[in-house]
Amino acid sequence: MNTNLHVMKKMLRAVILPALLFCISAVFAQSQITGVVKDASGQGLPGVSVTVKGTTSGVITDADGTFSLNAADGAVLVFSFIGYESVERTVAGSTSINVELHESTTLLDEVVMIGYGTTTKKELTGAVTSVKSKNFNTGNFNDPMGLVQGKVAGLSITKPDGADPMAGYQIILRGTNTLMAGQGPLIIIDGVISADLKNINFQDVESIDVLKDGSAAAIYGTRGTNGVIIITTKPAKAGKGAFEYSAQVSTQVAPRGVQNLSAKEFKHAVETYRPDLASGSLFGSETNWFKEITTDAPISYQQNLALSGGTDKFSHRTSLTHSIGQGLLLNNVSKRLLVKTNLQQKVLDDRLTLNFNFTNSLRNYKPANYDVFRQAFIQNPTQPVYDDTDPATGGYSYKQGLEYYNPVAMIKERTRDGKTNDIILNLRATAKILDNLSWDNFISTQRSEWEENSYKTRYYPTTLGRGEAEIANGRNINNQFESMFNYETSFGNHTLQALAGYSFQEFEQSNSYIGNSQFDTDVFLYNNIGVGQALIDGSADMSSGKSSSRLIALFGRLLYNYNEKYMASASLRREGSSKFGDNNKWGMFPALSLGWRMNKEAFLQDVEWINDLKLRVGYGITGNQDFAPYQSLIILERVGSLFYNQQWINSYGPGQNPNPNLRWEKKKELNIGVDFALLTQRLRGSIEFYERKAQDLLWLFNVSVPPYLYNELFTNVGTISNKGIELTLNAQLIKKGDFQWNSTLTVSHNQNTLEDISNKEFPRTSYPSATTSGILVTYTQRIQEGKALGTFFGPVWLGVKDGRDVFKNQNPIGQVSEDKWEDIGQATPFATVGWSNDFSYKNWTLNINFRAGIGGKVLNLYRLYYESWQRMGLTNIVHTQYENPEFTGGIVYSSKYVEDATFLKLDNLTLGYNINLASKYISRLSVFGSAQNVFWITGYKGIDPEVSLSGLTPGIDRPSYYPRTTSITVGVNAAF
Amino acid sequence: MKKYILKPALAIVLVFLTVSCFDLSETVYSEIPADKFFSNERDIIAYAGRAYIALQPYPEEQRLWSLGENASDELAIPAKDNNEWKEGDRWQVIDKHTLGSATATNKILTRAWDMVFQGISACNEILLVVSPVDFENKERVIAEIKILRAFYYYWAMDYWGNVPFSIVYGSKELPEQKNRQFIFDFIIQEIEDNIDFLQELPNDEYYGRVTKPMAYMLLAKMYINAQEWVGQNKFADAVAACDQIIALNAYEIADDYFSNFAVHNEGSKENIFVIPYHPQLTDEHFYWAHLTLNEASVSTFNMNEKPWDGFIAPEEFFERYATNDIRRKSFLFGQQYTKSGSPIVIEGENFIYTPHIDNYQARKKWEGVRCAKYEYQEGLKYDVVDMENDFVLFRYADVLYTKLEALHRGGGSVAGFISDPDLQKIRTRAGLAPYTLGDITDDELLDELGREFAWEGHRRQDQIRFGVWGNAWWEKPASGPNKKIFPIPASAIVTNPNLIQNPD
C-alpha cells in the first residue's frame, strides 16, 4: 500500500508541474476587460465561460451576466455557454466588450447526459436520445414520462391502466430482454439510481436522456440491460429572484368501458334466444351498472409554484406542487403534495461546489379495485341496484352466483386509504483539485414509507355479516454513495476525458400486514383492528418480512476525440451484487463505441446540403439483477405446521431448491447509428440498427423430483434476441414569417426471438403460458424456441357454421387437439410510430401528437369469456354477441378472439397562447387548453387494443380493467 | 495550495477503499440460514416433520385422492349446466379412463404425482441432514421417515406402476425407472428392516405419526394387492400382518361409525393413521365441504362462504346402500334443512339433492348426492377456516375387512373369523345383520368395501383387485388393462429422460 501511495504521488507531480508552468507562462502584458453577456432577449446570462484563447485563464459571468478579466491587447476572448453558440472577440484596445449569445441552432453543442458525466451531441458515440424541456410534449401529466411519449424511437411508453389517476406509464425499451427479471429501464433522477418517477413533478424536469444501446448503458453494469433513463430536474439558478406559477384543471370526458347489453337488449335477447332462462334472469329493473359506479365528469387540478434565485456563489430553486386527481370510478382519488429544493453553493475560491437536494413527496389516495368494472360488466342489467327486502344485505340487491357481486356495494361498503411518504436527501460535493481534475462525491438516501388500509363493512358482498379490516405498511430504503474522479485535457487536436469511480448502493425493504374480521360494529373501520372476533377464533392474519440487498461497483470511462472527427468511448464497470451465488457475485461489463464525423472528411466537406453526418458503432455488455434476493442460499423457512405431541408446531425446511450457481443475465448489444443534419439543419435525425442478445436468462425450470426437492429451480438457461431499426426525424417543415411548423417522426421496428430455452439438463423447448382462469381454463400462448415472446397459439378459426365455430383440423366432435394448434400471431407490433407536430404563429402554439402501432395481436378476453348466448343468464354478455346472434355455440379459445391490434391514436392536442404584457412584474404569461387521448382508430372490437406489452404474457386485454377517457385540461403559466 | 487539497482527498479515498465496503454477503432477516438451525430434539422433529406435512395436500381438489377417486365409480365431476366444472374436460378424462400419453399434461395427474414425489424427496433430504446429528430416539425417528417414504412409494407404485426410484439426496443424477416388482420388494424390505424401531402402541405423542400398527397395515395393503401388482399369492402374509395389529389389542370398532370422521375425531380408537388438520395453521387444507356442496347448503352447515358444487357420488354407487344402512348418511340426499331444522326453500323451490343426474354434460345445481361423511364444522371459509377433522388413512375396520378378504381369497378359514365380534360390529353399527359364511362372495365384499370406505381413497384399489376396473359404468366406457395405472405426467417425463411412458 505504501509503495502504491508513493507511485501515485509521483504520478500526480508529473501532472501538476506542467500544469503550473502552463499557467505561469500565460501571465504577461495584461489589461482589464469588463463587459456584459446577454441573450437574444437582452437578459444578462450568468455562468458564461469567458476564456483567453490559447490559455487556461478565464472567468465565469456573474448573476447579471457581467464579467471582468485581464487580457493582453490582441488576445482573443472566447465566450461559451452550454446550449449557445460560442463567440470569439479580439481585444483591440477597448476595455469593454459586450456580447450577445445566441442559442445554438446547430444543436450539435447540445449537452447529452451519458451517466456519470456529460458530452455533447457532436461528440456522442452511443445511442442516446436527449429530449430537452423545450421539446417536451405539452399538457398535463401525472408522470414525467408523458413528456417524451412518442418522441424517442424504440422507447414504448404506454398507459395500459387507462384513466386510473394512480397509474403510471409502462416503459419498455427495445423489446423484452428477460423472462423473469425486471423489464423496466433503470431510472436515474439527479444522480439517484433506481429513483421513483412518482416523486417528481413533470414541470420540474429539465431534460430526459435515454441511454438505449449496450455501449451507452454499460456504465450502469448490472442494471443497464433494459436501458437507462436519466432525468435531470431544473437546477438552482443564479440571477435575480424568479417566481413561476402554474395551474391546471382537468376533467375526464367520453368514458369508454366494455360494451354489454342494455336492460332492453338483455330482455330482448333472453326472450328471443334463451327463453329457457326467462324465469331466473329477468328481474324487471333497468340498471346501467357502469353509470352507477362512475362519476360524470371527474375534476382534477394541479398547482405548481417555483422560486429560484441567488448569486453565482449561492443559488436555490424550490418547487411546490399540489395536485388532486379524481378517478372516473367513484371513491378513487389521488392527492399529492411535492416539495423539491435544490441549493448550490461554491466555496474555497469556487474550488468546492456543494449541491444539495431535498424532496418530500406525500401522497394520499383511495385506490381503485379494477374488478369492480368487471362486476359492472357481468351484472344483470335487469337487476336493481338496491333492494331492501333482506336486511342482511344492507339495502343492496344481492343475487347468488359464482364470483357475482354487486359493484355498487363493493365501492360504497369498503373504505380504502393509502399513503406514501417519500423523503429523498442528497448532497453532491465536487472538488476541483486541479483545473482539469475534479473529485465528485455523492451521498443520497431515500426513505419511502407506505401504508394501505382497508375496511369492508358487514354489507360488502364477500364479507356479508362480518366486516373485515386490513392494515398493511412498510418501508423501503435506498442508500447510495458514489465517489469519482473526472479528468479532462486537450492537446493539439486531441481531447480526452477520463473518469474513475466507486459506487455503493444498499436497498432494504420491510413490511407488515394485519387482517382481522367479524366486527360487532362497522364504526371502527380499520382503526380498532384488535376487536374483531376472528382474532379470538384464531383466524386473523398477521405477517411481516424484511430483506436487503447490496450492489458495489468500480467503474471507469475514457472519452477521446480527434478534431471532432474521430471519437471513441471505452468504459468498464466491475460490479458485484449480493443476490448472486458465492461463485458468481462479481461481473465485468465493458463497452466500446466509436464515432466518425464523415462530413469533416475532404470528400464530403463541399457537399452543401450535408451539414452533419456521423457514423457510430458501439458494443457493450450489460446485466440484469432485478429479482428477489436470497435465491442462491439454502434458507430454512416455515414450510407448514405439524401436529406433534398434542400441539401444533412450525416445521422448518428448505422452501426452495437452492442454486449456488446463480449468475447474471448478460446482454450483449451491437448498435450501428447514423446521425445527420441536412438542408441547412432543416432536417435532422438518426437511424439506429441494433442487435441485442440476452444470455444466461433466469427462468424457473421444471426439474425432476427427486433428485430435487421441489419441481422448480431458478437457474440460468436461455437466450433472447432483439433486432431492430429505429428512425428519428426532426424537420422544420415551414418557417415563414411568424408561422412555424416543426415535426418529429419516430419509427421503430423490433423483432423479438426466444433463441433458446433448453440445454442438456432442460431439453424442453416449449412451455404453455398466458393461461386463462375462471370459466375457461386454457393456455393461449407458448414460450417456444424460435418464436417471439407473447406468441399466441391456438386453433385456427374458420368461421361459424350452423351456429357453431368451425376450426381448421378439427376432429369429428369439433375439437382441435393441442398438437394441431398453430401460431396465430404475436402480441408485439411490427412497428410503432410517433409523430408530433409543433405549430406556432405569433403568440399561438399548437401541439399535435399522433401515435400508431402497426401489426401485433391482442387477445380479447371479454369476447372469449362472454361472447356466447350460453354465457347469458344471471350474468350479462358482451354486445358483439347481440350483433351476431346466429352464433349459438359455447366458448372455445381460438384465433376468433385474437384480433389485430393496429391502431392510430391522437394522444395529445394542445393549444397555447402567450399573452403579451408590458408589465413590470409579470415577465411571461401564457394559457393553454389541452386534450389527451382524444381519439383512436382501430378495427379492434374491444375498447383499446393498446394493452400491456410487458411481462411474459403481453397482448391480453384482461377482464379486470380501468376504462379509457379523454381528458381535457385548461391551464395557465406565469413567471414573475 | 493544490497539494493541500489533494493529500487529504487521497487519504480519504484510500481509507474508504480499504476499510469499507466490498462486502456482498447477504443479510437474511425473515428466514433462517440453514447453518443456524439444529439445537435440540424438538428442532429435529420440526425439521423431519416436513415429510409428514407433505401428506397434507392428499385430499385436496387436485391431488392424489381426487385423481384416484375420480377414476373410480364412487365419485364423479360432471359438467354443470352453466359450464362450471367443465374445465376443458380435465375431470372427464379421468372419470372416463381416457387419460393417456396425449393428456399427460392433466393438472390433477401432475399435482398428484408432485405430491407423492415431493414427499419422497423430502424424506431423502431429511435422512441426509438428520443422519449425522445425535439426538434421543434417533433410530426411531429415522425408521419413521423410512417407513413414511415407503408409504409414498406404495402410492407411487399403486397409481403409476413404473416409477423413478431414488433414496438419496444430494446428487443431481436423475433417478432410474423401476418396475412394480422392484418397488414392491423395496417396500417390503424397508418395512421389515425398520418396523422394530417404531413406536408400538398408539399414544398422544405419536398421534398422526408412523407407528408399528401403521407399518403392519401398510404391509397388509402390500400383500392383499400382491396378486394384482406382482402376481404373487401373499394372502397368508396379509392375514399375518393384520393379526399383528389385532394382537396389539389397541384398537376397537367405534360404536358410532361417524365418530371416526367427526370434527374432533382425534379421540377415535378405530383410526390408526391420520393426517391431522388445523383450520388455520396447516398450509394445505381439507375442504371437502367446498368441493361437494351446493351453495344452498350454506344454511345447513352455517358456512361462511359459498361452496363450489363439484364432486358428487354417482347414482349407481349410491344405490348400493340399503335404505336402512346407516352409512348411507355419508351422503346428503332428499330435502335439505337449515341448521335449526327447517326445510330450505330457495326462491320458492324446495332444496332437494336428487341421486339421479339427467345429463352428465349439464348437471343441474341440485342433482347428485353430496358427501357429508366428515362432519362439517360451522363457519367454513376456504383458506380462512378449513375443516379441522383429521383425515383417516388407515383404520381398524380396514384391518378386519382386509383380513376377511385375504382369508376369502387365499383359501383361509373365513369360518373361523366370520363370527369375530369386532368384525360383526362393523355390520351391526351400520344397522345391518352381521355376515354369515354364506354371505361372503366377491360381489358382496366389493360392495361392502365400497359402502364402508366410501370416499376414503379405497375404491380404486378395490375395483382393480376385484377385476371390475375395465367394466363400463355411467358415462365411462369399458377400458383395457393398461388403464389400471395412470400415465406418467408429461412434466415428469420431460424433466427425466430415464422415464418411459406407461402404455396407453
Q: First and final CA of chain A: distance in angstroms?
A: 58
Cell of B338: 337449515
> Amino acid identity of A569?
S
Q: What pLDDT does B35 receive?
A: 56
pLDDT-based confidence at residue A84 (cuts at 50, 70, 90): confident
Predicted confidence band at B488 (pLDDT cuts at 50, 70, 90)?
very high
Kindly give the interhelix angle for B421-428 and B396-410, rounded to the nearest 10 degrees: 110
Residue A164 sits in the same domain as residue A95: no
- Burial of B1 (C-beta count, 10 Å sphere; 0-12/13-18/19+): exposed
Give me the number of domains chain A comprises: 2
Cβ-defined contact of A648 to B281 (cutoff 8 Å): yes
Contact between A629 and B26 using a beta-carbon 8 Å cutoff: yes
Out of A201, A226, A241, a domain closes at A241
A54 touching B (Cβ < 8 Å)? no
Verify that A199 and A94 share a domain, yes or no.
Answer: no
Which of A642, A646, A761, A769 is the mutation pick for testing B, counting most B CBs within 10 A?
A642
Cell of B185: 420388494
Could you tell me which residues are beta bridge partners of residue A482?
Answer: A442, A503
The pLDDT assigned to A611 comes to: 83
A649 → chain B, closest CA residue: B46
Query: What residues of A are in contact with residue B14 (Cβ under 8 Å)?
Result: 1, 5
- Return the pLDDT at A920: 75
What are B349-373's pLDDT values in tens digits? 999 999 999 999 999 999 999 999 9
Per-residue pLDDT tens over the stretch A560-601: 989 888 999 999 999 888 877 777 788 888 999 999 988 888
Q: Is residue A125 part of a domain?
A: yes
DSSP string, A345-394: EEETTTTEEEEEEEEEEEEEEE---THHHHHHHHS-TTS-SB--S-GGGT
CA distance A72 to A70: 7
Residue A489 lies inside a defined structural domain of this protein: no
Beta-carbon separation of B31 and A576 below 8 A: no
End-to-end CA separation in angstroms for chain B: 89
**Domain-embedded: residue A209:** yes
Q: Which of A552, A642, A776 sits opposite B53 (nearest CB)?
A: A642
CATH of the domain at A220: 2.170.130.10
- Look at residue B309 in the predicted model and tell me its pLDDT: 95
* Residues B447, B448, B449: CA angle, nearest 5 degrees: 90
Partner B contacted by A652 (CB < 8 A): yes
Burial class (CB in 10 A: 0-12, 13-18, 19+), A937: exposed
Q: Is A644 on the interface with B (CB under 8 A)?
A: yes
Confidence at A632, pLDDT banded by 50, 70, 90? low
**Residues A136 and A64 both lie in one domain:** no
Confidence check: pLDDT of A890 > 80: yes
Residues A159 and A227 in one domain: yes
* A294 DSSP 8-state letter: B
Q: How much is the pLDDT for A23?
A: 41
Nearest CA in chain B to A762: B495
Share of chain A above pLDDT 70, in %: 95
User: Do A710 and B18 make contact, defined as CB atoms within 8 angstroms?
Assistant: no
- Domain-ending residue, one of A241, A275, A303: A241
Q: Which amino acid is at B75?
A: L
How many angstroms separate the CA atoms of B220 and B241, rounded? 5
The model's pLDDT over A3-26, given as tens digits with 9 standing for 90+, comes to 444 554 554 454 444 444 444 444
Q: What pLDDT, on the 0 to 100 scale, is given for residue A751?
A: 93
Q: Is A794 helix (H, G, I), strand (E, B) or coil?
A: strand
Which whole number is the average pLDDT over A467-488? 93
Which DSSP symbol is given to B456? Answer: T
- pLDDT-derived band at A408 (thresholds 50, 70, 90) equals very high
* Residue A568 touches partner B, C-beta closer than 8 Å: no
Are A704 and B174 in contact by the 8 Å Cβ rule? The answer is yes
Model confidence at A261: pLDDT above 70: yes
Q: Can you tell me the mean pLDDT for B271-284?
A: 93
Tally the residues of chain B: 504
Output the pLDDT for position A633: 61
Please determine, for residue A474, whether its predicted confidence score (pLDDT) is greater than 80. Answer: yes
Residue A676 domain-assigned? no
The whole-number pLDDT of residue B406 equals 97
Residue A128 structural domain: 111-241
Nearest CA in chain A to B17: A502
Contact residues, A window 575-604, toward B, CB-based 8 Å cutoff: 576-579, 585
The pLDDT value given to residue B40 = 67
CB contact under 8 A, B32 and A637: yes
**Has residue A167 been placed in a domain?**
yes
What one-letter code names the amino acid at A709? Answer: L
Cβ distance B32 to A546 less than 8 Å, yes or no, reads: no
What does DSSP say about strands A352-366 and A414-434: parallel, antiparallel, or unpaired? antiparallel
In chain B, whose CA is at the least distance from the CA of A439?
A: B9
Residue B24 to residue A576, Cβ atoms within 8 A: yes
Question: At the topology level of CATH, where does B201-262+393-469 sit?
Answer: 1.25.40
Nearest CB neighbour to B121, from listed A546, A637, A706: A706
| CA–CA dist B415, B418 (Å, integer) | 5
DSSP B416-449: HHHT-HHHHHHHHTTTSPPP-GGG--HHHHHHHH
Cell of residue A671, nine digits:
448498435
CATH number of B41-198+475-504: 1.25.40.390
Decide if B250 contacts B217 (C-beta within 8 A). no
Q: Residues A78, A174: one domain? A: no
Distance of alpha carbon B98 from the chain centroid: 22
Question: What confidence score (pLDDT) does residue A28 get?
Answer: 46
Tell me: do A189 and A234 sit in the same domain: yes
Q: Using an 8 Å Cβ cutoff, are A525 and A508 in contact?
A: no
Q: Are residues A69 and A133 in the same domain?
A: no
Chain B residues within 8 A of A509 when measuring between CB atoms: none
Does residue A465 carry a pLDDT above 90? no
Kindly compute the dihedral angle of the four CA atoms of residues A141, A142, A147, A150, in this order, to the nearest 10 degrees.
Answer: -90
Q: How many helices, marked H, and strands, marked E, lie in chain B?
A: 20, 11
Average pLDDT over chain B, rounded to an integer: 91
Q: Is the Cβ pair A434, B492 closer than 8 Å?
A: no
A641 contacts B278? CB cut-off 8 A: yes
Task: Indicate yes or no: CB of B52 within 8 angstroms of CB of A642.
Answer: yes
pLDDT at B228 over 70: yes
Can you say whether residue A55 is alpha, beta or left, with left for phi > 0 and alpha for psi between -120 and 50 degrees? beta
Contact between A158 and A949 (Cβ < 8 Å): yes
Residue A229 falls inside a structural domain: yes
**Model pLDDT, residue B79:** 94
CB A708 within 8 A of CB B121: yes
Greater confidence, A946 or A922? A946
Angle at the Cα of B67 (from B63 to B70), degrees rounded to 5?
A: 135
Q: Which of A211, A241, A271 is the last residue of a domain?
A: A241
Alpha-carbon gap: B254 to the closest alpha carbon of chain A (Å):
22
Model confidence over A945-970: pLDDT tens digits?
988 888 788 899 988 888 888 989 99
Look over chain A and give the mean of its residue pLDDT values, rounded to a whole number. Answer: 86
CA dist list (Å): A408 to A257, A259, A262, A291, B7: 16, 18, 17, 10, 71
In this structure, the answer to whether residues A99 and A116 fall within a common structural domain is no
Please say whether the beta carbons of B462 and B444 come within 8 A. no
Domain-by-domain residue ranges, chain B?
Answer: 41-198+475-504, 201-262+393-469, 288-371
Give A856's pLDDT tier (boundaries 50, 70, 90). very high
Best of A274, A641, A650 to substitute, by most chain B Cβ atoms within 10 angstroms, is A641
Per-residue model confidence as pLDDT tens digits over A106-143: 566 788 888 888 888 888 888 888 888 888 888 778 88
Report the CATH number at residue A76.
2.60.40.1120
> For A431, which of B5, B20, B26 is closest by C-beta distance?
B5
Q: Say what the ipTM of the complex is.
A: 0.87
**DSSP string over A604-645:** HHT-TTEEEEEEEEEEEEEEE--S-TTTTS-EEEEEEEEEET
Q: Do A634 and B171 touch (CB under 8 A)?
A: no
Residue A766: CB partners within 8 Å, gap ≥ 6?
Answer: A782, A783, A784, A785
A159 and A76 in a single domain? The answer is: no
Task: State residue A107's pLDDT score.
Answer: 61
Q: In this complex, how many residue pairs, one in chain A and one in chain B, have their CB atoms less than 8 Å apart?
A: 211
- Nearest C-alpha neighbor of A694 from the set A765, A753, A626: A753
Residue numbers of A between 488 and 547 with CB closer than 8 Å to B: 502, 504, 510, 537-539, 544-547
A124, A63: one domain: no
pLDDT band for B487, please (50, 70, 90 cuts).
very high
- Among chain A residues, CA nearest to B90: A777
Confidence tier at A86 by pLDDT (50, 70, 90): confident
Interface probe, candidates B7, B15, B24, B47, chain A, greatest A C-beta count within 10 A? B24
DSSP labels for A435-504? TTEEEEEEEEEEEEEEEEEEEE-TTSGGGTTT-EEEEEEEEEEEEEEEEEEEEEEEETTEEEEEEEEEEE
Q: Is there a contact between A466 and B33 if contact means CB atoms under 8 Å apart?
A: no
Q: Which pLDDT value is given to residue A17? A: 45
Q: How many angstroms separate the CA of residue B347 from the nearest CA in chain A?
A: 10
The conformation of residue A524, written as its DSSP 8-state character, comes to: T
Q: For residue B302, what is the DSSP state?
A: T
**CA pair distance A869, A318, nearest whole angstrom:** 61
Residue A340 forms beta bridges with which residues?
A319, A359
Express each pLDDT in A715-736 by its tens digit.
888 899 999 999 999 898 888 8
pLDDT tens figures, A743-775: 999 999 999 999 998 888 787 888 888 888 877
**Does B201-262+393-469 match B41-198+475-504 at the fold level?**
yes
What's the pLDDT band for B447 if we cut at 50, 70, 90? very high
Confidence of residue B2 (pLDDT cuts 50, 70, 90): very low
Task: Give me the long-range contacts of A107-114 (CB less than 8 A, separation at least 24).
Answer: A107/A677, A107/A681, A107/A684, A108/A612, A108/A677, A109/A82, A109/A83, A109/A84, A109/A85, A110/A83, A111/A82, A111/A83, A112/A209, A113/A207, A113/A209, A113/A230, A113/A232, A114/A209, A114/A211, A114/A216, A114/A219
Inspect the interface and report whether the beta carbons of A704 and B174 lie closer than 8 Å. Answer: yes
Is B164 in Cβ contact with A704 (below 8 Å)? yes
CB nearest to A351's CB, from B5, B50, B385: B5
How many whole angstroms separate alpha carbon B77 and alpha carbon B96?
11
Are A100 and A135 within one domain? Answer: no
Q: Dihedral (C-alpha) B367, B368, B372, B377: value to the nearest 10 degrees?
A: -30
Q: How confident is the model at residue A288 (pLDDT cuts 50, 70, 90)?
A: very high
Instruction: State the sign of the Cα–Cα–Cα–Cα dihedral A215, A217, A223, A225.
Output: negative
Do the bridges between strand B271-275 and strand B391-395 make them parallel or antiparallel, or are there none, so unpaired? Answer: antiparallel
Residues of chain A contacting B47 with CB distance shorter than 8 Å: 651-653
Q: Tell me, what's the pLDDT at B32?
A: 60
Which member of A8, A434, A649 has the closest CB to residue B2?
Answer: A434
With b for 16 or more beta-carbon neighbours within 10 A and e for fewer, the B361-399 pattern comes to eebebbbbbbbbbbbbbebbbbebbbbbbbbbbbbbbbb
The torsion of the CA quartet B110, B116, B122, B124, rounded to 10 degrees, works out to -120
Identify the pLDDT of residue A22.
Answer: 42
Longest dimension (CA), chain B: 117
- Is A628 an interface residue toward B (CB < 8 Å)? no
* Mean of pLDDT values over A397-416: 89
Minimal-distance CA residue of chain B relative to A871: B82
Residue A221 domain flag = yes
CB B146 within 8 A of CB B139: no
Indicate if A132 and A186 belong to the same structural domain.
yes
Q: pLDDT per residue over B196-222, tens digit each?
A: 999 999 999 899 999 999 999 999 999
Query: Which residue of A lies nearest to B85 if distances are taken between CA atoms?
Result: A775
B45 neighbourhood in chain A, CB within 8 Å: 642, 644, 649
Q: How far apart are CA A696 and CA A719, in angstroms?
A: 6
Q: DSSP string of B135-204?
A: -TTHHHHHHHHHHHHHHHHHHHHHHHSSEEE----S--PPPEEE-HHHHHHHHHHHHHHHGGGS--S--S
Q: Return the H-helix or E-strand segment holding A514.
A: strand A494-517
For chain A positions 396-415, those within 8 Å of chain B (CB to CB) are 400, 402
